[in-house]
Amino acid sequence: MHLACRGLTFRYPGADAPVFRGLDWALDVPGLHALFGFSGCGKSTLARLLARELAPQAGECTAPPGGPVLYAHNAERLPGWQTVAAHLDSVTPAPSRRLLDDLVAAYDLAPVTGHRFGALSMGQKNRVNLVRYLVQPFAVLILDEILANVDEPMRERILGDLKRRFPDRLLLYISHNALEVARYCRRVHVVPHARGGVRRLRSLDALDRPGGGEPAPDAAVQRVVYDVLRAASREAA
């Protein structure tokens, strides 16, 4: 299992500098990983490059076999003419029907399945969006702020469920919540600000908590949060 960038260079049209310049980076173990950084550092750009929604000017991204790299984000528009149940039914492959039922129950979506998306809260919409990706066959799933507007107890429940339900998949979780990624992710991959383009990410061990169990000691959480924020704050060389 290997998700990697080699010599990755990408510049938006008309930009003064590239977002990435010769970036080398890899994920070679499954589990829930975090991509962390302050606004504007290139997290979503990297996600779109990994999912092949953007094409680099140089270098390449490679993914493990077994399915595509999927990219889910919290700005996706869901069809307003369908109920939640009808939409999820229409996008779920036959082998994933039981998984769909399990996820709807686990993420407390059963009360809203008869409603159209316009009647849902933002947190409910994001949970539905997450479910429709989880029922797809994938090798890598990138989750870009997909739990925005979801309350903290439900976020904890979902993160714990993802870790238990998909232990052999690569899940890359983009979040601005340093405390959350420190607690629940296996590793945190920090995208620094770099005026001339990011050349490398700093990867830090996190606490990899299962969710729903005993909380990690405060001192351990604070140490990881400090390291993550310090790495994100440093200007890349």
pLDDT given at position 216: 64
Look up the CATH number of the domain holding residue 203.
Answer: 3.40.50.300
Average pLDDT for the chain: 91
Residue 185 belongs to domain spanning: 3-76+140-233
Q: For residue 89, tell me if it sits in a domain.
A: no
pLDDT in tens, 40-82: 899 999 999 999 999 999 999 998 877 789 999 988 888 888 9
Q: For residue 19, tell me if it sits in a domain.
A: yes
The pTM (predicted TM-score) of the whole model is 0.92
Q: For residue 146, tell me if it sits in a domain.
A: yes
Residue 16 has pLDDT above 60, yes or no: yes
Q: What percent of the chain has pLDDT over 90?
A: 68
Phi/psi at 83 (nearest 5 deg)? -75, 165
Report the relative pairing of strands 187-190 and 31-36 from DSSP bridges.
parallel
Q: For residue 158, tell me if it sits in a domain.
A: yes
User: For residue 73, with 0-12 CB atoms within 10 Å meaning exposed, 13-18 middle and 19 or more buried, which class applies?
Assistant: middle
CB 163 within 8 A of CB 32: yes
Long-range CB contacts (within 8 A, 24+) of 38-45: 38/176, 38/193, 38/232, 38/233, 39/176, 40/193, 41/191, 41/192, 41/193, 41/198, 41/232, 42/191, 42/198, 43/144, 43/174, 43/191, 44/73, 44/144, 44/174, 45/10, 45/19, 45/20
| Number of structural domains found in the chain | 1
Q: For residue 69, tell me if it sits in a domain.
A: yes
Token pair in block for residue 171: 């899940």
pLDDT in tens, 126-146: 999 999 999 999 989 999 999
Q: Which of 72-76, 104-108, 122-126 has the lowest mean pLDDT?
A: 72-76
Residue 194 has pLDDT above 90, yes or no: no
